[in-house]
Amino acid sequence: MIARIKTYFNDVTKEMRKVSWPTRQQLRESTVVVTVTCLIITAFVWLVDVAMSFIMQQLY
């Protein structure tokens, strides 16, 4: 059992060395893109919610 755990962690270490990590600039740009996208989607969902609430109030 211990040998299997040791093998697992050795394999994980080998794979992690193969990973292509982003630079700080790439990470910053990706973070901005994700944040802006989330804000846009949030605003859209909020607008749809307000519109649907208004329509439902008018119907009832």
* pLDDT tens by residue, 24-58: 999 999 999 999 999 999 999 999 999 999 999 99
Backbone angles phi, psi at 23, to 5 degrees: -75, 170
Q: What is the DSSP string of the chain?
A: -HHHHHHHHHHHHHHHHH--PPPHHHHHHHHHHHHHHHHHHHHHHHHHHHHHHHHHHHH-
pLDDT in tens, 6-32: 999 999 999 999 999 999 999 999 999
pTM, two decimals, is 0.66
The CA-based angle 53-34-52, given to 5 degrees, is 5
- Say what the pLDDT of residue 35 is: 98
Q: Within 13 Å of residue 47, how many CA atoms lie on the same side as its CB?
A: 6
